[in-house]
Amino acid sequence: MAPSLNIVGAGHVGRALGRVLGARGLMAVQDVLTRSQAGAQAAVGFIGAGQPVDAIGWMRPAQVWMLAVPDDRIGDTALALAQAQGGDFAGAVVFHCSGAKASSELAPLRAAGALVASVHPVRSFADPAAVASHFAGTWCGVEGDAAALALLVPAFEAAGARIVAIDAAAKTVYHAASVFASNYLTTVLDAALRAYRAAGIPEDVARELARPLAGETLANVLRLGPEAALSGPIARGDTATVARQQAALDAWDGPTGRLYAALADATRDLARRKP
């Protein structure tokens, strides 16, 4: 039989993973707790299984617990959960989904007998339905107790995940890598689109101008590596163009000018690594 699963924190990540594991019969979703009863009911509807609860003390014992709460709440939630369940988690597997925090954040539950781990899906969860429908191929960074991973890794692999073991001591740098690859990429593209608009180009046209540049550059970086993919004025040593752009951006929008300057410094370092 599939192990029972309780979910604490059912935002985009919790509900998407709940559907991934539950709909495939890999785990039996039992109790779902999130910020409000209405939110828990909505999450249960999305997952297609489970019972909404409105207090941590009402959650029944389960074989597996998923904590999909914000990073800065993992430790407090683990402590509250250990206290609410009477400190008896012998044999239960508890994992969180953070890429920034290590499984050691679950120390209160480990002290209560739980086997603890972290499973971090390297995806954007802006559209949880799309993630749940197209989970196959998703990379998941894992670390934690070997016995916990012995249960979790096969379940996630059965859902189509690709597993990579990560160093718990380097978890913050690992997560920063994902931020660079996703969040900060969005910020850089926002700067590009705003600059196009400042040059008088309508927003819909600006996106089309950026599409081939961004898409082809990303493809080249992933195919060839960043050194070979780098092109543009810094790569060809056109310092006068860079200086003119810097002055124009400083005059137009100070924060964007500072972003350009920081990226220019990093790009010069990258250019020096070109073969």
Phi-psi region of 153 (alpha: psi -120 to 50; beta: other; left: phi over 0): alpha
Percentage of residues in the chain having pLDDT higher than 90: 97
**Which stretches in the chain have pLDDT values below 50?**
none
Pairing status of strand 28-33 against strand 51-53: parallel
pTM, full prediction: 0.83
**Confidence (pLDDT) at 85:** 80
Closest by CA position to 99, among listed 141, 162, 161, 153: 141
Handedness of CA 125, 128, 129, 131 (dihedral sign): positive
**Confidence (pLDDT) at 77:** 97
**Confidence (pLDDT) at 86:** 81
DSSP state of 113: T
Alpha-carbon gap, residue 193 to 210, rounded angstroms:
7
The 3-state DSSP class for residue 160 equals coil
Instruction: Collect all residues with Cβ–Cβ distance below 8 Å to 27 and sequence separation of at least 6.
Output: 2, 3, 4, 5, 21, 64, 155
Q: Please name the CATH architecture into which domain 182-272 falls.
A: Orthogonal Bundle (1.10)
Side by side, the strands of the sheet bearing 4-8 are: 51-53, 28-33, 4-8, 64-67, 93-96, 115-121, 139-144, 162-165
Alpha-carbon gap, residue 121 to 249, rounded angstroms:
37
> Where does the chain have alpha helices with state H?
12-23, 37-47, 74-84, 107-111, 128-133, 146-158, 171-181, 183-198, 203-224, 226-229, 239-252, 254-272
**Confidence (pLDDT) at 248:** 97
- CB-based contact 120:153 (threshold 8 Å): no
**Confidence (pLDDT) at 189:** 98
**Confidence (pLDDT) at 53:** 97
Alpha-carbon gap, residue 221 to 199, rounded angstroms:
28
Alpha-carbon gap, residue 122 to 181, rounded angstroms:
10
> What type of residue sits at position 48?
G
Give tens-digit pLDDT for 74-100: 999 999 999 998 878 999 999 999 999
**Confidence (pLDDT) at 88:** 85
Give tens-digit pLDDT for 134-170: 999 999 999 999 999 999 999 999 999 999 999 999 9
Structural domain boundaries in the chain: 4-169, 182-272
Angle between helix axes 239-252 and 183-198 (nearest 10 degrees) is: 80
3.30.470.20, 1.20.1090.10, 3.40.50.1000, 3.40.50.720: which CATH number matches 4-169?
Answer: 3.40.50.720
Give residue for tokens 């590009």: 192
